[in-house]
Chains A and B, each alone.
Chain A
Amino acid sequence: MVRWILAAAAALMLTTGLAAAQQGPLRIELDEGVIEPLPYALPSFVDEGAGSLASQITRVIADDLSGTGLFREIPEGAHIQRFGSFDTPVSYADWQAINAQALINGSVGMSGGKVVVKFRLHDVYGNTQLGDGQQLAASPQSWRRLAHKVADVIYARITGESGYFDSRVVYVSESGPKGQRQKRLAIMDYDGENVNYLTDSSTIVLAPRFSPQGDRILYTTFETGFPRIKMMSVGNAAGKLLPEVPGTMTFSPRFSPDGGSIVYSLEQNGNTDLYRMSVSGGSVERLTNSPAIETAPSYSPDGSQIVFESDRSGTQQIYVMSASGGEPVRISNGDGRYGTPVWSPRGDLIAFTKQSGGRFFIGVMRTDGSEERDLTASYLDEGPTWAPNGRVLMFTRESPGAAGAAKMYTVDITGRNLKAVAGVGGASDPTWGPLLP
């Protein structure tokens, strides 16, 4: 268990006579688009009995912050002040001298078998601590989560929005040649660490989807020989197949925001439509009824609407309808085919896959289809999923040809900071889970 203790640390209000540099308050406005990352200093946390964990935790915090593209770390070699203990008074002038705008100092110790992290965030040019100091504790094997928690607090204090570092991603781990790809479900920390496999690779599995609470996973499996939707609890991979209508195929499931319903595609006699089922397995409700393909449904965060793709116009396009069905409204209007729409957790945007001119794009549009922006382009980009704060997308990028392989990438919603998720090998179909409690 992580215990949050709002340490009543005495605010270190240094009433020095130094005039603040020509800087505003320590703040990143995400809506304005960040081009120049904010320089910060993160001296290695003071070891108070945790050994190498002190420096390891410090590095993970730095990787989280710098990995956003919003922050740039000033290397420790350039630091002037050294912290002998957590309570060493901050010499703001020393940090201003190296142009650090933010400073994080901390310590890592052990208490009652738990790792205890203490940290403070400082507004260097404001000559002041930003927010209270905090203390967190967790079991030693969860040290990475402690680091992610610290980074989430720092991110939130500087941007005013919640972070996304202490979160997990469920995805499909891939191996083997392209014509015989072996697939199995896996779960990882958002940064590709702590990979655990949830199924073996004896059958094709596709597109796992977290429940809103992150405690259950829906996915499509060929274990019966035919695509079927299965639900498992995280931590109990046995799972169960959802009720079947004989002779049909079911796939592309997604939970409702309250976790009580599943919207999915059901194919019968070659025609694919959207259905809704209660998680308890009771009622089934048909949501669309057209001879076209309707698939890839995703709920709005308030649960009132569903965005999905349909080729009823002749090509794949994105539509929005009431969560109870009814006449959908087409919202995609650019050149190309649009699919895999996913509603942002903030409610403001819909991310999608677009195909145009023989290439694939990940993009975002407003929920009425306006202000479409492409964020990525490649031979094959597909299947975006939102970070819990709605500021970053993760997706699958497959390289071309016989030697092609799938990898997961992230990009922020301004189209910056595109990079691969390192260290997980072949991987596809990520779904980003919620911020962990």
Chain B
Amino acid sequence: MHLATKAAFGLAMIALAACNNPSKNGANGVVDPGGAYGEAGGVSQGSINDPNSPAYFAGKVGDTVRFVINQSTLTDEARATLSGQAQWLNSHGNYAAIIEGHADEQGTREYNLALGARRASSVQQYLISQGVPATRLRTVSYGKERPIATCAAESCFEQNRRAVTVISVGAGS
């Protein structure tokens, strides 16, 4: 048994800092494959008034759909938003998208990761059904790790139960 091992930790942690792919680092040092926390993946957001810009997609088409507690089925409102997303993606073949699934904090960490993946997958399947090639869509789940509203009430929880379609560079198109 080695009592000296703890001395090694300090050295080991320094070595780790270099492991991250800088292109995936969003704002505040958080790895962010999409753009929810800043311009990620080298995608210029452009102007919200430019119908060909990711900013227009996020702000005017609507990049976010919400879900009922513990559910991943799409509401009518979500389908309407996603139909708009599909239209935009179908007419902007130079872009791909990463669909981020999220959960509110009223759930355990692992389950919420899985639930977020279900939600992201629901969105992906719907976009595919509207003609967006599967090769342009990836999914990721953040579980309950990235709430956008932080109060301890349903008014915040409902905002966090979401899937966000984040425009990225056009791999696969």
Contacts and interface: CB of A to CB of B under 8 A. Distances in A.
Nearest to B145: A204
- Chain B CB within 10 Å, residue with most, of A182, A267, A270: A270
A235 B9 contact: yes
A181 interface: yes
A234 B5 contact: yes
Contacts of A47: none
Given A178-B150, A400-B152, A309 B111 contact: yes
Contacts of A271: 118, 121
A354 to B, nearest CB: 10
B150 A293 contact: no
A316 B111 contact: yes
Contacts of B143: 206
Range, interface on chain B: 35 or more
A203 interface: yes
Interface size class of A (residues with CB under 8 A): 35 or more
A436 B6 CA distance: 13
Contacts, number: 184
B151 A401 contact: yes
B150 A379 contact: no
B24 A293 contact: no
A1 B19 CA distance: 33
Nearest to A269: B121
Among A267, A269, A402, residue most surrounded by chain B Cβ atoms (within 10 Å)? A267
A196 to B, nearest CB: 4
Contacts of A197: 9, 13
B117 A225 contact: no
Contacts of B54: none
Contacts of A141: 3, 6-7
A204 B30 contact: yes
A270 B102 CA distance: 13
A234 B15 CA distance: 13
Interface of A: 1-2, 138-139, 141-142, 145, 176-183, 187, 194, 196-204, 206-207, 220, 222-227, 234-239, 247, 249, 251-252, 265, 267, 269-272, 293, 295-296, 309, 311, 315-316, 339-340, 353, 355, 358, 379-380, 382-383, 398, 400-402, 404, 429, 436-437
Given A204-B142, A272-B118, A437-B1, 17 more contacts: A180-B146, A198-B16, A200-B13, A206-B113, A227-B140, A227-B141, A235-B5, A238-B12, A249-B117, A267-B117, A270-B117, A293-B114, A309-B108, A339-B111, A358-B106, A383-B109, A402-B151
Interface of B: 1-10, 12-13, 15-17, 19-21, 24-25, 28-33, 37, 70, 72, 105-111, 113-115, 117-118, 120-122, 124-125, 138-143, 145-152
